[in-house]
Amino acid sequence: MSLVALLLVHLLLQSSISCSASASVSKIETRLIQETCKHTDYYNLCVASLESDPRSLNADVKELAIILVELLQANANETLWHVGDLFKKVSDPALYRFYGTCIEEYRAIVERQIPEAIDALQSGDYMVSKKDAEAAAAHADSCEEQFAGETQPFSDQNKAVHGLSLVTSSILGILG
């Protein structure tokens, strides 16, 4: 066999070994996400949320919880802004009241529950952090309940915040 042929065989083998090693590492890295998410009622939401953040691939359970709280914060902020925009455009008195209530509920999530959850998580008080995540879910529920029987233009966002709050609460429950 010529030197060039040997070199090509060597490179192909190295490439093959490298690719299978990368696949193994990837499986190992995502295994913690999958195992952790099995402790939630929203497995698919949990996995999709964590896999959307590259930091989660090298994270331990506490870091996964931090990532989830940050994702919850981003989603709640986005929903608050969306509801605020809708509120400015509404003329129906009932809808005005419904949106106003939702703004209050989301302000509680964004300004109180999530900051408290972050502080408690960072200080190792996982039960307080868990209760704050559960409270965020309750605030999202209160918003949703305003529209019983009515069409709500941000129901999907509201349900996402609710689900992400419960996922976060479940993961925090693992920690303590």
CATH number at residue 162: 1.20.140.40
pTM over 0.75: yes
153 part of a folded domain: yes
pLDDT, position 12: 34
The residue segments making up the domain with residue 118 are 29-175
17 part of a folded domain: no
For residue 98, CA distances in Å to 11, 63, 80, 162 come to 65, 36, 13, 18
Does the pLDDT of residue 86 top 60, yes or no?
yes
13 part of a folded domain: no
If you average pLDDT over every residue of the chain, what do you get?
85
Does the pLDDT of residue 14 top 60, yes or no?
no
4 part of a folded domain: no
Whose structure tokens read 């070994």? 17
Does the pLDDT of residue 169 top 90, yes or no?
yes
Share of the chain above pLDDT 70, in %: 84
21 part of a folded domain: no
Q: Into how many domains does the chain fold?
A: 1
Does the pLDDT of residue 171 top 60, yes or no?
yes
Does the pLDDT of residue 8 top 90, yes or no?
no
Please give the average per-residue pLDDT across 32-56, as a whole number: 95
133 part of a folded domain: yes
Q: Higher-confidence residue: 9 or 53?
A: 53
62 part of a folded domain: yes
Burial of 129-153, coded b for 16+ CB within 10 Å and e otherwise, reads: bbbbbbbbbebbeebbebbeeeebe
7 part of a folded domain: no
Give one word for 119, left, alpha or beta, with left for phi > 0 and alpha for psi -120 to 50.
Answer: alpha
Identity at 73, one-letter amino acid code: Q
Cα(129)–Cα(176) distance, integer angstroms:
10
* Residue 152 pLDDT grade (very low, low, confident, very high; cuts 50, 70, 90): confident
